[in-house]
């Protein structure tokens, strides 16, 4: 919890939610929702905006396979500050065939960056990859356990190891949870 703050007035709220789903056809749906609103009334280029009226209310659904390759993408823009914003939906289809993983942000920038797309849909898409990595590998691991199969496929560590201080290959969590990967380094690379 954050420390107490001096008296203050709320001005803006941005709420972002991500959800992951397993589909019957073996694919995965990742959904993101972004909602922006002001805590006061004002007038914009599109007219009066009462307090709490959504400035942005957008939804994004990305369908991927086990390799995180995008098979489909869909957006809904329930609230936007300008009618012209709605045209950003068409450019999102350029992401079909892209894979979430290394170079993800660069792939987004190439396909729908700058004036090619919507800043807010890009923001959702950037971070939807994290929701995918939270959803798919864990669900697959649980399924393997339920089928009495080994939890870890192959001899390489899970993708998240070595990506933050908690999952440091030389740290206490890896030593406790996955001691077989302590000091691990990619073949041909010296350990850190």
Domain residue spans in the chain? Answer: 12-146, 155-192
Least confident of 78-87, 99-108, 134-143: 78-87
> pLDDT at position 87, please?
84
Digit-coded pLDDT (tens) for 34-71:
999 999 999 987 789 999 999 999 999 999 999 999 99
Average pLDDT rounded to a whole number, residues 7-19:
96
Digit-coded pLDDT (tens) for 152-184:
656 788 878 888 899 999 999 999 988 999 999
What is the 3-state secondary structure of the chain?
CCCCCCCCCCCEEEEEEEEEEECCCCCEEEEEEEEEEECCCEEECCEEECCCCEEEEEEEEEEECCCCEEEEEEEEEEECCCHHHHHHHHHHHHHCCCECCCCHHHHHHHHHCHHHCCHHHHHHHHHHHHHHHHHHHHHHHHHHHHCCCCCCCCCCCCCCCCCCCCCCCCCHHHHHHCHHHCCCCCCCCCCC
**Quick check: pTM over 0.95?**
no
> pLDDT at position 145, please?
87
């Amino acid at each position: 919890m954050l420390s107490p703050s001096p008296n203050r007035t709320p001005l803006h709220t941005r709420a972002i939610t991500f959800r992951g789903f397993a589909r019957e056809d073996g694919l995965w749906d990742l959904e993101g929702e972004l909602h922006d609103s002001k805590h006061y009334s004002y007038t914009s280029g599109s007219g009066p905006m009462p307090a709490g009226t959504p400035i942005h209310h957008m939804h994004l659904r990305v369908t991927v396979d086990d390799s995180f390759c995008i098979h489909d993408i869909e957006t809904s823009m329930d609230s936007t500050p300008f009618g012209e914003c709605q045209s950003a939906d068409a450019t999102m289809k350029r992401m079909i065939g892209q894979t979430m993983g290394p170079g993800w942000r660069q792939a987004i920038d190439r396909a729908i960056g700058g004036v090619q797309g919507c800043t807010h849909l890009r923001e959702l898409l950037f971070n939807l990859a994290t929701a995918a990595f939270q959803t798919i590998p864990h669900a697959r691991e649980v399924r393997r356990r339920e089928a009495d199969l080994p939890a870890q496929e192959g001899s390489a560590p899970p993708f998240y190891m070595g990506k933050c201080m908690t999952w440091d290959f030389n740290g206490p969590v890896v030593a406790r949870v996955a001691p077989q990967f302590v000091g691990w380094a990619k073949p041909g690379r010296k350990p850190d």
